[in-house]
Amino acid sequence: MSNSFASRPGAVGNPPQHYGNPLGEQKALAAGTAIVDLSDRAVIAVTGPDRLTWLDSLTSQSLSHLAPGESAETLLLDPTGRLEHAMRVIDDGVTAWLLVDASEVDALAAWLDRMRFMLRVEVAVSDAYATVGTLGRLELPAAAPNGVPLAWTDPWPDVTPGGHQYAHNRPAAGWAYREILVDRDADLSSFPAAGTLALEALRIAAWRPRLATEADDKTIPHELDWLRTAVHLNKGCYRGQETVAKVHNLGHPPRRLVMLHLDGLVPPAGSAVELGDNTVGLVTSSALHYELGPIALAVIKRNVDPAVDLVVRTADEIVAAAQEVIVPTDAGAEANVPRLPRLGSVTR
């Protein structure tokens, strides 16, 4: 199936980044009339009667009562609350399908397999299906091995039950993203295609974090406003929960995600974000948006004044950058615990 995308006229890359008209492809994708080859994604199948309660116990989202056909996303954190893996989850009543980036699949599947112990759970990487992305309601031939179409609907940018939104505002409307699993020999030639550059630009405009781009080995979910859809704050224990609760209730995340509006140039990911003579963060994703122009997501120090303009330094250029706040500087400390009076002080 993926080879059919790469063989389409004008295709550049595999999966194709574009087909010769990146901005036009963005418009078609945003309008819901195009599909994207996501052959850089992979699938893990988790079977057995204990699969949902088991996944619930290991990861950040409440999954034990996930209904057949219902979509969710969840995170696997390390013991200190840092991000290790992100999973998009759909259950069909028999199998929980974990949609992940291909770079994650082997390590995640191996870790899950080690954690089965005596539970009635089986874990396997599935090569039976390919992943296609869309922002519309196109009637794609979704695989349904157990009678439920394997179509994952992104909960972003809404706040799922048990989640929490730090952003004071919401991104522009229009992010109605879905990932569909299709048979590898499915004929999709009748559906117009957009490249991955188009999807990336729309994702950035929606403030949608992605593990492969926005996270590093120090990232906690709060920094990316990912408590919104991937963390349930009132469920039972899971690895990393103590950090999640402590930062959310008593502390502040050390960094925060921002969207940058750039002056005329799209800097590469990894470019330094600077304030005066100081580096205050890094660009994590960047794109040329068909309406907004050059934009980027960046992770910067929490205490950077949201009102100041920044610059992005590339190898050859310095690019002016205006902040659009996603995670505010006061994120966290939701418990608002009053300070105890000092010993000997007088209270009224």
Residues 149 and 281 occupy one common structural domain? no
Residues 87 and 21 occupy one common structural domain? yes
Does 247 fall in a domain? no
| pLDDT value, residue 339 | 47
Binned at pLDDT 50, 70 and 90, residue 343 comes out as very low
Binned at pLDDT 50, 70 and 90, residue 4 comes out as confident
Does 292 fall in a domain? yes
Among residues 35, 40, 148, which one has the least CA distance to residue 94? 148
CA distance 181 to 118: 30
Sequence-distant (≥ 6) Cβ neighbours of residue 16 within 8 angstroms: 5, 6, 8, 37, 193, 195, 196
- Say if residue 264 is exposed, middle or buried (CB neighbours under 10 Å; 0-12, 13-18, 19+): exposed
| pLDDT value, residue 1 | 55
Residues 271 and 194 occupy one common structural domain? no
Residues 23 and 74 occupy one common structural domain? yes
Residues 154 and 193 occupy one common structural domain? yes
| pLDDT value, residue 131 | 98
**Which residue range is the domain that position 287 belongs to?**
256-325
Region 255-283: mean pLDDT is 97
**Do 324 and 300 form a contact (C-beta atoms < 8 A)?**
no
Between residues 201 and 174, the one the model is more confident about: 201
pLDDT at residue 221 is higher than 60 = yes
Residues 194 and 283 occupy one common structural domain? no
For the stretch 153-163, pLDDT in tens is: 999 999 999 99
| pLDDT value, residue 345 | 46
Binned at pLDDT 50, 70 and 90, residue 335 comes out as confident
Residues 168 and 69 occupy one common structural domain? yes
Residues 290 and 224 occupy one common structural domain? no
Percent of the residues in the chain that have a pLDDT greater than 70, as a whole number: 95
Does 250 fall in a domain? no
Residues 221 and 299 occupy one common structural domain? no
pLDDT at residue 340 is higher than 70 = no
For the stretch 110-145, pLDDT in tens is: 999 999 998 999 999 999 999 999 998 899 999 999
Please give the model's pTM, rounded to 2 decimal places.
0.94
Spell out where 102-177 has E strands. 122-126, 129-134, 151-153
CATH number, domain containing residue 135: 3.30.1360.120
Does 61 fall in a domain? yes
Region 241-261: mean pLDDT is 97
Residues 214 and 262 occupy one common structural domain? no
For the stretch 41-51, pLDDT in tens is: 999 999 999 99
Does 336 fall in a domain? no
Q: How many domains does the chain have?
A: 2
Binned at pLDDT 50, 70 and 90, residue 180 comes out as very high
Region 222-235: mean pLDDT is 97
CATH number, domain containing residue 306: 2.40.30.110
Buried-exposed string 283-304: b where 16+ CB fall within 10 A, e elsewhere: bbbbbbbbebebbbbbbbebeb
CA distance 257 to 225: 8
Residues 89 and 141 occupy one common structural domain? yes
Structure tokens at 332: 């966290």
| pLDDT value, residue 348 | 40
Does 335 fall in a domain? no
Residues 175 and 262 occupy one common structural domain? no
Chain mean pLDDT for the chain: 94
**Do 251 and 267 form a contact (C-beta atoms < 8 A)?**
no
Between residues 16 and 136, the one the model is more confident about: 16
Binned at pLDDT 50, 70 and 90, residue 172 comes out as confident
**Do 297 and 255 form a contact (C-beta atoms < 8 A)?**
no
| pLDDT value, residue 33 | 97
Cα atoms in the Cβ-side hemisphere of radius 13 Å centred on 182: 22
For the stretch 54-113, pLDDT in tens is: 999 999 999 999 999 999 999 999 999 999 999 999 999 999 999 999 999 999 999 999
Does 241 fall in a domain? no
Does 331 fall in a domain? no
| pLDDT value, residue 212 | 96
